[in-house]
Amino acid sequence: MTASREHFLDLYDRQLRTDAETPSALQVQRLGPLRLVTFAHGRGFITYPRITGHDPLLADLAEEALDYFSCQPQITKVEFKTRGHDYAPGLDQKLRALGFTAQDPESIMIGEMSSLFSDQPAPSGVQLRQISADHEVEAMCRMADQAFGEPYDPSTTQALIARLAKNDGMELWVASIDGQMVGAGRLEPVANTEFAGLWGGGVLPGYRGRGIYRALTDARARSAAGSGYCFVHSDSTEYSRPILEAQGLVKVSATTPYLWERA
């Protein structure tokens, strides 16, 4: 029997909106329900558990939360992660007034890990493998930034290399054709939960529509299931959402990140 959207959303709220959400945090400070998270390379992150009408208004805490980060000169950007199913009146207006910019919304996708298994082989000529060497991580990050139409950010490479050194279960998968990386994705098992996350999945524009994204998803899902993870979660763009829906994942809500950058 397929689980309902409400069941998946409850699993998401109970298991994933905790410290499990930020495994690579350097520091976490509490401000009411907010978790103010400091990451390496000058990144701040604001998140929180499920908010209902009985909780403090997030909009009333936003300015103090930003002040916490803005008074630390090493912090260059802060992300405030919002969810569409929370009670947050006035938050959008408050964040914009504080200088945050809303990024593209993404779909929160949840499903059973086995639903991502594919009965099709990898596309002809495509090689799938895990990587861990520093130079391969850099090549993967450069390719992924190109796939998403963004400039290369070396801090992402440094953060992933540091994560791999922790040996905490994170896996980096790439798809290659004739030795050229054309797609990649990350597997993030969530400690002390039934979930693993699929993140950063992307394929170069010239190679889309061939089944490469599906093959990368299948490889990561089988790896996670082999380690005992039952459920998968992913924040998906409008490009990947239909693919995941076709494979049985359910959109349980949406998330919109708001980004503040130091002038």
Domain ranges of the chain: 5-107+256-261, 112-254
**pLDDT at site 1:** 40
pLDDT band at 2, cuts 50/70/90? low
The percent of residues above 90 in pLDDT, for the chain, comes to: 81
pLDDT tens digits along 189-213? 998 899 999 888 899 999 999 999 9
pTM of the model: 0.82
- Please tell me which residue, 200 or 107, carries the higher pLDDT value: 107
Q: Which of 253, 255, 248 is nearest to 114 (CA)?
A: 248
Is the domain 5-107+256-261 a CATH 3.40.630 member? Answer: yes
H helix intervals, the chain: 5-11, 58-70, 91-97, 134-147, 154-166, 212-226, 241-246
Q: Out of 3.90.1010.10, 3.40.50.2300, 3.40.605.10, 3.40.630.30, select the CATH number for domain 112-254.
A: 3.40.630.30
Does pLDDT of 230 surpass 50? yes
pLDDT band at 83, cuts 50/70/90? very high
pLDDT tens digits along 117-166? 998 999 999 999 999 999 999 999 999 999 999 999 998 999 899 989 98
Give residue for tokens 């069941």: 7
Q: Which of 237, 242, 246 is nearest to 104 (CA)?
A: 237
